[in-house]
Amino acid sequence: MLRFLFLLFCGIILYSGEASSRMPIYDASDYYYQCLHINRDPEYCGRQDTSRIINEIKKQYRTVLTTPSIVGWHENIPENTVVLRDMYESWTAFRTRLCSLSHKSAAYLEKLVEEKLSCNLYYAQHHNAHLNSIIQLLSKQVPENKSQLKFLNINSHDDEYKECRKDNGKNCIKEELARTTKEIKNIYKTMLDDEFLGKWNNGPDLKNGNYRDMYDSWIAYRNRMCSLSVWAYQVGYGQNAMTTDYCLLFFNIEKLEAMKNILVSAHSSLDEEIDTDEDDGGEAEGKTIKPLERRFDANQNTDDILEEQEKHESPLVNKGMKKQVPQKKLDIPSWAK
């Protein structure tokens, strides 16, 4: 029990860091404790709990599809189904790659925790919590004061944002969004050039390999999630309840903190415990990740990814609160079963 709790703690610390005030912190579930009581195997029970949560996530996608207010998100239910399918698949692709990289960066903890398990469990719980909030918003079962709904909540900003706000008190979200996007790209470049993390890419440059696939799938997931989140806030609280830029900034800050912590973990003071003579720089770990079978349409130009600013960074544009007639029959797609 203590080992798994430490595993959870490491996963939470690694991915929350300074963002812990923005991101939920989870304890091991009752399901996990029941499993541990029977099997006495923390890692087995952790994997079982992760599978259980992912199955819950698939059910939540079905709930979103069958909530009447979702019909107006796009033109019709079939289009919503396609967008949600891509959101789920891009989230899975992003999570798989990030947790593989995190596993590599936390090599010095290998004898203490299974980092990849901790990472996957954290992100499954995190996504599950976000979908729960979206379903609340779509069902209008929300607090009167939206600040009481702890979802996409940025409690603090860095010094650059605060300095920008001092300039006549203007709205600095767009500037912060551009700055954090550039910083994320710079971290990708740093990781590729890093002796310890570079080979994980399993490709010659940032246009080919795991880093390209991780960035593409994250952008696709973030954009779809923000499109859905902004729509849900509009349903729950009205047209001006949430801006797209604010949502994008939330996910940028979340990603930035995760990548910073991975980079720090890869060069911690415990590096001397790694047998560097036998270390392959992450090449073996990187080869376990299959290349993306298809490119998610992230509504952006990705030909020069990480080389230029995206020409179309914004997510799918909501088309307003249009009244649509729900279809009588909804075939649940295979990916959500």
Q: Which of 310, 181, 178, 200 is nearest to 262 (CA)?
A: 200
Strand partners, 208: 205
SS (H, E, C) 191-257: HHHCCCCHHHHCCCECCECHHHHHHHHHHHHHHHHHHHHHHHHHHHHCCCCCCHHHHHHHHHHHHHH
What is the per-residue pLDDT for 247?
Answer: 93
Q: CB–CB of 14/102 below 8 Å?
A: yes
**Nearest-5° angle of CA 23, CA 315, CA 232?**
60
Q: CB–CB of 200/100 below 8 Å?
A: yes
Ordered per-residue pLDDT tens for the chain, 337 residues:
434 333 443 443 333 333 332 233 345 666 667 777 677 677 777 777 788 889 999 999 999 999 999 988 988 889 999 999 999 999 999 999 999 998 888 766 554 446 677 788 889 988 999 999 999 999 998 888 887 888 998 877 777 777 777 776 567 888 889 999 999 999 999 999 998 899 999 999 999 999 999 999 999 999 999 999 999 999 999 888 888 999 999 999 999 999 998 888 887 655 455 555 456 778 888 888 998 988 887 764 333 333 333 333 333 333 333 333 333 333 434 444 3
Residues in CB range of 271: below 8 A, 6 or more apart = 108
3-state secondary structure of 72: helix
Measured in whole angstroms, the distance separating CA 279 from the mean position of its chain's CA atoms is 29
What's the CA gap between 129 and 217, in Å, rounded? 20
What is the per-residue pLDDT for 279?
Answer: 65
What is the per-residue pLDDT for 275?
Answer: 55
Distance separating the N- and C-terminal Cα atoms of the chain: 32
What is the per-residue pLDDT for 20?
Answer: 32
What is the per-residue pLDDT for 128?
Answer: 92
What is the per-residue pLDDT for 320?
Answer: 35
Q: How many CB atoms lie within 10 A of CB 166?
A: 9
What is the reported pTM? 0.79
